[in-house]
Amino acid sequence: MEPSLPIDSPSLSYWHRTTRSFPHLNANRLARVPPSVQYVIIGSGIAGSLTAWELVNSGVNGQDILILEAREAVSGATGRNAGNIRPDAFRGFRAFAAKHGPEQAVKIIANERLHLEKAKEFITKNRVNCDFNYTTSVEACLSQQYTGFVVKAFEEFKAAGGDVSHIKVYHGEVAKTKARHPSAVCAYEWPAGSNHPSKLTHWILNDVIRSGVRLWTYCPAIKVVRHHEPAATAGLRWDIHTPRGVINVNTVVHCTNAYAAFLLPQLARFVTPRSSQVHSFIPTGALAGEDLLQNTLSLRYHHDHFFSVNQSLVDGTIIIGGTGTRTKRDADSVDRVTIDDSIYSESLANNTRNEFLTLAGATNETLRPGEGLDQAWTGITGITADDVPMIGPISGLEGQWICAGFNGHGMSRMFTCAPGLVKLINGHAWSTTGLPECFRYAESRLGSALHTHTAENRGKL
C-alpha cells in the first residue's frame, strides 16, 4: 500500500481509556514549532520516548531535543498492544536462522532474554508505576501439528548452542494444568513479564519533559529535506516540514515504526503496516480474587492461530491478543495490510470471547452482567521483509537515524534497541550496542523487498 501518516481518528484501547489524565497527552497541540533544535525524534511511542530518555541520560541537554507526534502522545502500537514483555525463548529460531543464519538467530533470541532483565532493571530502579509483573510465560501447544513444530524448534535451537537452561517443559496432565487448557499436548515455561504499556511510556515522557525535552502532539512530520541556508544556521542539516512550521535540525531520529516509509520512501516495499487485534475482559469469579492468573499464557493452535493472555494484578483485567480462527470475514477486516486502527473484527472478538470462556470454565449464560468482553481494539504493527528491526544511521542521509520495524514485538526489544541506537548516535561502534548485527540498518537489506514475513514469526505477542 502507499506509505501514509497515521489516520486522524483511531479508536481508544483499554490502555488509553485508563490513562486519559496524562498531563502531556495533547502537549503543544496548537503551538507553532520552534525554528530550530539540535535533535528531533519523530514518534512518541516506546521507541521515541526511550530514545529521548537515553539521549538525556547520556548527557544531551533535554532542551536540545524535541519529539514530534502525529496524534496524541503514545497513540500508536505502544498504546494499543497486548501488554506482554515476553521474550521469544526458542520458537522463532528456525525462521530467523533461515533468513539470517543460525549464529544471528541465536543472538536474536539471547538478546530478547537480556531485554527482559533490562526492562525489569529500568522499571524497578526508576520505580515506574506501570503494573509490571515479572513472572513466567507458559506456551501451550494445543495441536499435534504445532507440537511437532515446537519440539523441532527447541532441539534445533539447543543444537545451535542456544541456552535453554531457563526453560521448563511439561507433558500430559501437568501441561494441561500449567496451561489452564484442556487441549494442551505439552507446554513450555520461561521468565517473562507484562505491563501497562501506556503507563510505562507516559512515565518515560514525563521524566524527559521534566529534563527539558519538548513534545509536540498532533504535529506530523510531513517531509524531511536538506537545509540549504549557509553560515547562520551552519550545522543544522535538515528541515522538517510540519503543518505548524518548519524546524531546522541537526539530528533526526525516525521512531515511526509502521509508518516509517512515509518519510523514507526507500522503505516502501520493506516495511508493511499490518493490523492486529487485542481485547480486554472483566474476569469471572474463577479468574478473580486469589485465583488471578499469576503468569502469562500463549495458547497456540498453529502459527496463524494463537492467543496471548495476561492479567493485571492491579485491577484483574484480562488482556487477550492474537489471531483467532481465520474466516473470510476476518481476512477482510483484521490482520491485514492497513493503517486503519479505528475498527476491529466482530468475528475475531467472538472467537476470543470463546477462548476467554474456556479459560474461565464459563459459558455465555453463566456470565454475570459486567463480566466478559469489555472492549476490542486494533493497532498497527510495522512488519519488515526480513523479520527484524532497523537500527542505526540511514545511509546517504547523514544525521538521520532509525529505530523502527519491530514486527509486532517491540515491547520485548526496545530496552536493548533504543540504548543501542543512542550509543551509535553518540559516536560509538556497533559492537558496543550488543545487538545482533542483522538489526543494523543497511541498504542491502532493502533488497529483500517484497513482503515475505515468515508466518512462524507473525504475531509474537
**Considering the complex, what minimum distance in angstroms separates the CB of residue 458 from ligand FAD?**
12
> Of the two residues 33 and 185, which places its CB atom closer to ligand FAD in the complex?
33
| Interface with ligand FAD, residue 314, by CB under 6 A | no
- What are the C-alpha distances in Å from 288 to residues 76, 284, 296, 360, 379? 30, 6, 15, 10, 28
Distance CA 335, CA 189 (A): 27
Binding residue for ligand FAD (CB under 6 A) from 16, 71, 99, 303? 71
Distance, first Cα to last Cα, the chain: 24
Binding residue for ligand FAD (CB under 6 A) from 27, 60, 66, 68? 68
**Considering the complex, what minimum distance in angstroms separates the CB of residue 121 from ligand FAD?**
17
Short-list 187, 189, 160, CA closest to 96: 160
In the shown chain, the binding pattern of residues 196 to 235 toward ligand FAD, with x for contact by CB under 6 A and - for none, equals ------------------------xx--------------
350-409 positions binding ligand FAD, by CB under 6 A: 379-381, 404, 406, 408-409
| Interface with ligand FAD, residue 410, by CB under 6 A | yes
**Considering the complex, what minimum distance in angstroms separates the CB of residue 250 from ligand FAD?**
18
Distance CA 381, CA 256 (A): 11
- What are the C-alpha distances in Å from 70 to residues 6, 25, 325, 382? 7, 12, 33, 16
In this structure, what DSSP letter does residue 337 have? B
In the shown chain, the binding pattern of residues 332 to 351 toward ligand FAD, with x for contact by CB under 6 A and - for none, equals --------------------
Segment contacting ligand FAD (CB under 6 A): 57-65, 82-90, 171-179, 180-188? 82-90
Short-list 125, 126, 139, 135, CA closest to 193: 135
| Interface with ligand FAD, residue 276, by CB under 6 A | yes
> Of the two residues 147 and 276, which places its CB atom closer to ligand FAD in the complex?
276
- Find out whether 423 and 132 touch, Cβ atoms under 8 Å: no
**Considering the complex, what minimum distance in angstroms separates the CB of residue 363 from ligand FAD?**
27
290-309 positions binding ligand FAD, by CB under 6 A: 308
User: What cell does 397 get?
Assistant: 542521509
Distance CA 36, CA 46 (A): 24
E-strand ranges in 34-181 read: 36-42, 65-68, 84-85, 133-141, 168-171
Binding residue for ligand FAD (CB under 6 A) from 3, 83, 322, 436? 83
User: What cell does 297 get?
Assistant: 499464557
Size of the site for ligand FAD (CB under 6 A): 46
User: According to DSSP H, which parts of 126-196 are helical?
Assistant: 144-159, 172-179
Binding residue for ligand FAD (CB under 6 A) from 111, 256, 272, 457? 256
| Interface with ligand FAD, residue 19, by CB under 6 A | no
- Residues near ligand FAD (CB under 6 A) are 5-6, 42-48, 68-71, 75-78, 80-84, 220-221, 255-259, 262-263, 276, 278, 308, 321, 379-381, 404, 406, 408-412, 461
